């Protein structure tokens, strides 16, 4: 299992150049926590500016197309992300699945396209409230993992730690509701079993992140839970003060 926690901020459709000051503040603060890997995924328009300004944190994209180029108006390819300075991309976020009708096979194809372009990947999975209430949460998420992860062949040359799975219960994203720690532990264990089934020992390098209304108040308990390798953070990553508090919960500040 990767030793370093991975804290990733997803700015979603938020942020103009005026918010680069927040990114710089996050970057400066993250340098104090060398034991934590920190990354931000801004909107496409800010990726290059983020990448050029950042010294301690990685910059990524929030989505990519399966094709490297072509007649796909409004889309962004994985090679384009890499060319702008991105080092990873998020695929399969529930908002993409719901709002854009993305299914598991498309998510897998995007993940493999990103790997082909040299990018790391965060694959998102998660159940709806109706699925959880019906007792189907583990089955739904396990199926998403099985069908959305890039193939073992696709990741054969990928360095350890370059692929992560983010468990984001759909009902907790942006609602202020957070899964109980016991439920997070159980779901992460189920996801780990599917990763091991897919990749064998190579799957040991795959982090499982928790997402869904992570904030400064609940981060410590969530990050301390067994099987949690980091966090995918939405709204709380938009301000340096709240995001740095989550980074601090993941590691000890350097005295150097």
Hey, which residues are catalytic here? 93, 168
Cβ neighbours around 41 below 10 Å, total = 27
Q: How would you classify residue 62: left for phi > 0, otherwise alpha for psi between -120 and 50, otherwise beta?
A: alpha
Contact 207, 171 (CB under 8 A): no
What lies within 8 Å, CB to CB, of 198 at 6+ separation is 145, 146, 149, 152
Contact 207, 158 (CB under 8 A): no
Contact 205, 211 (CB under 8 A): no
- Residue 153 and residue 141: Cα distance in Å, rounded? 22
Residue in the block written with tokens 């907790």: 172
Residue in the block written with tokens 């980074």: 247
Nearest-CA neighbor of 118 among 70, 78, 74? 78
Nearest-CA neighbor of 206 among 168, 126, 252, 152? 152
Nearest-CA neighbor of 165 among 78, 250, 229? 229
């Amino acid at each position: 299992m990767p030793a370093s926690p991975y804290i990733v901020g997803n700015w979603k459709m938020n942020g103009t150049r005026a918010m680069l000051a927040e990114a710089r503040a996050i970057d400066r603060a993250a340098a104090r926590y060398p034991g934590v890997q920190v990354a931000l995924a801004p909107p496409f328009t800010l990726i290059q500016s983020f990448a050029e300004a950042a010294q301690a944190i990685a910059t990524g994209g929030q989505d990519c197309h399966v094709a490297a180029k072509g007649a796909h108006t409004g889309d962004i390819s994985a090679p384009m992300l890499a060319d702008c300075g991105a080092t990873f991309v998020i695929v399969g976020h529930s908002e993409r699945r719901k709002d854009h009708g993305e299914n598991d096979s498309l998510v897998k194809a995007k993940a493999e396209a990103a790997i082909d372009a040299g990018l790391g990947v965060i694959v998102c999975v998660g159940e709806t409230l109706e699925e959880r209430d019906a007792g189907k949460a583990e089955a739904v998420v396990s199926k998403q993992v099985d069908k959305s992860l890039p193939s073992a062949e696709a990741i054969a040359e990928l360095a350890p730690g370059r692929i992560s799975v983010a468990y984001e219960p759909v009902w907790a994203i942006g609602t202020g509701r957070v899964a109980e720690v016991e439920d997070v532990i159980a779901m992460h264990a189920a996801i780990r079993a599917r990763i091991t089934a897919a990749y064998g020992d190579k799957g040991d390098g795959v982090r499982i992140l928790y997402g869904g209304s992570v904030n400064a108040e609940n981060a410590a308990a969530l990050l301390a839970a067994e099987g949690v390798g980091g966090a995918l953070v939405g709204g709380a990553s938009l301000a340096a003060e709240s995001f740095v508090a989550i980074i601090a919960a993941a590691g000890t500040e350097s005295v150097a």
